[in-house]
Amino acid sequence: MASLSIDAPGAAIRRDERGLHVALPAGIALDEPVTIDLDLDDPHLDTRVFVTAGAGARGAIVERLHGGAAGRDVALTVSVELGANADVSYTALERTAAGARVDAQRTSTAGTGARMLWNVALLGGAASTAGIVSTLAAPGSSTEISGLFFPIARDVVQLTTEARHDVPHTTSQTVVRSIAGGHGRGRYYGNIRIAAHAHGSDASLRDDTLLIGKHAKIDAIPALEIAANDVKAFHGATVGAIDDEHIFYLMSRGIEREAAEKLIALGFFEPALARFPGEALRDELRALLEEKLAGARR
């Protein structure tokens, strides 16, 4: 059986032929995150995860996706349904083994006044494709999507995010940071869709990319599909190498070039990383990114 650590009294967890079900009852406030451990080497791996949050429920879910011998090829789906005024964060930390191929599609639907926070870190695997579609289905709902990825060696990573404003008075904020090193390849599709009648929607999308080395490449492809009038939509993006003036500034303080590059590169992820829940998890991510950076230089 897939291992499942449930340190979250109050969350109802069960498994059936459809997959793994996590239910946060109405009105509950979880103190600790529910951890979903998905090991690609487990023959009984749950590849479908269903999360439901009742009205007013608050809680955090942390999915850890790891393992996977060379050639392992897995498709995973996650869906999250939020009742009125529910407040849920779902964090996916992918650090699968070097040879694994993963396609993970994660979706959410937010009810009236509900807030959905998506955090995804793609830090493993030969090929990783991840999609997040966060649908704002009722007035007053909001979503924040934070993503980071870091292909190195010959990794290929593709992330798609979509904030769907189906109704009026909904808010979305998407922040994605990525670095590619070595011969790493990345592609980011950042989508905002505002439906024809979804007036008063407020959407922002920010994606920034840093390339380390001549052979690394990341394409960022934004798509803003806005059918309503009277909306606010923002998109900003940058792609570039580390700024020489930044390096010089740090070096002028006695910091060696390599250490200066490390500070800048790890700092680059912070605007997205800072939105992940819990200092322990953020520190874990920083350590993983530092490992990646060391790998990017080899």
Partner 1 sequence: MSKRGLVISGLQAAVDGKEILKGIDLAVEPGKVHALMGPNGSGKSTLAFAMSGHPNYAVSAGTVTLDGTELLELSADKRARAGLFLSFQYPAAIPGVSVANFIRTARMAVRPDDLTPSKFRAMIYEKLDVLGMDPAFLSRYVNDGFSGGEKKRLEMLQLAILAPKYAVLDETDSGLDVDALQAVGRSIEALRATPEGADTGFLIITHYPRILRHVPADVVHIMMDGRIVKTGGPDLAERVESEGYDGIREEVIGGVA
Interacting residues toward partner 1 by CB under 8 A: 243-246, 248-257, 259-260, 263-264, 266-271
The amino acid at residue 285 is L
Least distance from partner 1 to the Cβ atom of residue 177, Å: 9
Select 223 or 274, whichever has its Cβ closest to partner 1.
274
Select 197 or 257, whichever has its Cβ closest to partner 1.
257
Select 16 or 245, whichever has its Cβ closest to partner 1.
245
Least distance from partner 1 to the Cβ atom of residue 261, Å: 12
Tell me the C-alpha to C-alpha distance, in Å, between residue 132 and each of 92, 119, 249, 252, 293: 11, 10, 38, 42, 25
Give me the phi and psi of 183, to 5 degrees please: -105, 25
Select 217 or 246, whichever has its Cβ closest to partner 1.
246
Crossing angle for the helix pair 257-273 and 279-297, to the nearest 10 degrees: 140
Least distance from partner 1 to the Cβ atom of residue 248, Å: 6
249, 258 Cβ separation under 8 angstroms: no
Nearest to 217 by CA among 185, 179, 177, 182: 185
What's the length of the chain?
A: 298
Least distance from partner 1 to the Cβ atom of residue 263, Å: 5
Provide the 10 A C-beta neighbour count for residue 257: 11
Least distance from partner 1 to the Cβ atom of residue 286, Å: 11
Alpha-carbon distance of 176 to 98, in angstroms, equals 23
Select 26 or 250, whichever has its Cβ closest to partner 1.
250
Least distance from partner 1 to the Cβ atom of residue 270, Å: 4
Select 199 or 286, whichever has its Cβ closest to partner 1.
286
Alpha-carbon distance of 185 to 291, in angstroms, equals 18
Least distance from partner 1 to the Cβ atom of residue 84, Å: 36
Alpha-carbon distance of 118 to 159, in angstroms, equals 13
Tell me the C-alpha to C-alpha distance, in Å, between residue 123 and each of 11, 25, 140, 153, 286: 28, 32, 33, 12, 11
Select 165 or 177, whichever has its Cβ closest to partner 1.
177
